[in-house]
Homo-oligomer: A and B are copies of this chain.
């Protein structure tokens, strides 16, 4: 049997698995699998260098299924390669199965979650960048659907990959003409794609996506390219099953039992006994090293005026010195987020992502799959741009360290477009996330180190204005901790603060004390998880509890404390934010010392 016959055979085997498993599951996207059968077969059984026994090793070629709804055919390929047992395929989409409706990294051979479209190319770019950093001469292959190419994130990735001349990155467009609800923007107009992608700095070829010989030719060209390579594969949705081919209204619908029988009769005759063995399987040798343990020492004096964003930047350098696996990404704001310290010291491990936050997050997800400890930073408000990517990163089980600067109205005159006022809500609402919010330089550095040591998604919120150092360099901070900064046996009210409002609470403490009113002040630097024990104890020992935060009331510190079953009075940003001096804005929102004092007096009088 020739290579071509072998691959055609395999393609039809993959087709068979795809339609059988989706019919068994009574749902899924068989027609989207059928169009990519030859592409997947050619990649997995001819083109890619993979070690089915060690798919998690670094010296494999990588495959990212950006069109995640074609998951069944990816599972089929992994089964045919011997990565998972064939009989697992029929558990598709079941409650107890790792073979979910869209890919998640619960089996080897799948490193990331996909299914929210338009994200895979950024992830692939991150993987390709990582391979280059590691000095591993392997390629990353990303399979794109034609519908998802409408997503701007695809163009962010194409743009940066083109600029970086990322020659180990190959994208394949499964141009099957039909989207979910109607034909795609450009249907089979391959020139529309070719012109666009070429203009973005890629080499491009067009091929018949159902002709394995033509596919092999295209992949050979890709291997010789000095730029990232884009293969436009002309395909037919539903290919191989006559009554599904190029038919509208069949997206995301499994075949009925009857249809399956008909389809099998068409496919089975094309499958011969397979004796040929795949030639592309390798013996991989480079496992991913376990994450390193980091530590940070600080050298500040109490009262030093240092913005937490500056301290964060300094901490990054200290982490970078401990491990060359630390990588930092920034979106053209490095001089504001202070990742510039890292960029200046470790340029080779610093990635300027320009103003394209979605691609930045996607790249970070790709990089961390290759064993890097990845920090990314932007203004807190601009991270909202990439929230879908961040959400998906949780399903990728990604180890991702995200920093958002310029949080709150305390940024002042730039106005609300630049204010992160919903970031605590967004990052708290991620599965398995931690959310940290330092108020001074010592805690900012040490919490950055906590993030480095955490193996899931973490977020640190930093602020623009300088704030005084209040902690001794010997203080320790940990995930789920807090600091009781002021307390006495006569405390009448507990004030729970974070970041800038900690300093307001301390000012309020002094003024109230002078009037004979004692308040307890807690620095709630770990917003998720909260230090429940300390907060509950405080609420038992004082009559009232106030939370005060530079954030909208929804989903922030106040609601987090309320969810503990305490009854906080929530001081937060409740009026339309706008430009002004930080002090004026904190005052207007009632989250400065005066606002705290006013509330305390209301409660104790």
Contacts and interface: CB of A to CB of B under 8 A. Distances in A.
Interface of A: 25, 27-28, 68, 93-95, 97, 100-102, 104, 113-118, 147-148, 150-156, 159-160, 163, 179-182, 184-185, 195-196, 198-200, 330, 332-336, 340, 352, 354-356, 358-359, 381-382, 384-385, 387-388, 391-392, 395, 412-418, 421-422, 425-426, 428-432, 528, 552-555, 558-560, 562-563, 565, 567, 570, 576-581, 584-585, 588
A68 B579 CA distance: 14
A372 to B, nearest CB: 22
Contacts of A25: 413
A496 to B, nearest CB: 14
Contact of A429 (B159, B555, B570): B555
A585 B93 CA distance: 12
- A-B pairs, 3 with minimum CB distance: A152-B152, A115-B417, A555-B555
A195 B159 CA distance: 13
Contacts of A198: 199
Question: Chain B CB within 10 Å — which of A94, A553, A555 has the most?
Answer: A555
Contacts of A358: 152
Nearest to A564: B562
Contact of A102 (B28, B115, B414): B414
Contacts of A355: 117-118, 147-148, 150-151, 179
A335 B181 contact: yes
Contacts of A431: 421, 552, 576-577
10 contacts: A95-B584, A95-B588, A101-B417, A102-B415, A104-B578, A147-B332, A179-B355, A384-B388, A425-B554, A431-B577
A95 B580 contact: yes
Contacts of A581: 95
A330 B429 CA distance: 26
Contact of A333 (B150, B156, B180, B421): B180
Given A68-B417, A159-B185, A181-B335, A154 B152 contact: yes
Question: Chain B CB within 10 Å — which of A28, A330, A428, A588 has the most?
Answer: A428
Contacts of A114: 417
Given A93-B413, A425-B554, A359 B152 contact: yes
Question: Chain B CB within 10 Å — which of A182, A185, A563 has the most?
Answer: A563
B100 A356 contact: no
A381 B388 CA distance: 8
Contacts of A429: 421-422, 425-426, 552, 554-555
A88 to B, nearest CB: 14
Question: Chain B CB within 10 Å — which of A195, A358, A413 has the most?
Answer: A413
Contacts of A425: 425-426, 428-429, 554-555
Given A115-B417, A152-B155, A431-B577, 14 more contacts: A95-B580, A100-B578, A100-B579, A102-B414, A116-B382, A116-B418, A117-B355, A150-B332, A151-B355, A159-B185, A181-B340, A421-B431, A554-B555, A554-B559
Contacts of A336: 180-181
Contact of A418 (B101, B352, B384): B101
A429 B97 CA distance: 35
Contacts of A578: 95, 100, 104
A388 B382 contact: yes
Question: Chain B CB within 10 Å — which of A95, A116, A385 has the most?
Answer: A385
Contacts of A152: 151-156, 356, 358-359
Contacts of A580: 93-95
A180 B414 CA distance: 15
A156 B426 CA distance: 24
Contact of A381 (B100, B159, B391, B414): B391
B388 A554 contact: no
Contacts of A558: 563
Contact of A387 (B116, B335, B340, B426): B426
A559 B556 CA distance: 10
Contacts of A116: 381-382, 385, 417-418
B332 A414 contact: no
A553 B528 CA distance: 12
Nearest to A182: B352
A150 B148 CA distance: 18
Given A381-B391, A388-B384, A559 B563 contact: yes
A179 B184 CA distance: 35
A465 B117 CA distance: 23
Contact of A27 (B163, B382, B413, B421): B413
B95 A417 contact: no
Contacts of A148: 355
Nearest to A155: B155
Contacts of A97: 579
Contacts of A185: 159-160, 163, 354
Nearest to A423: B429
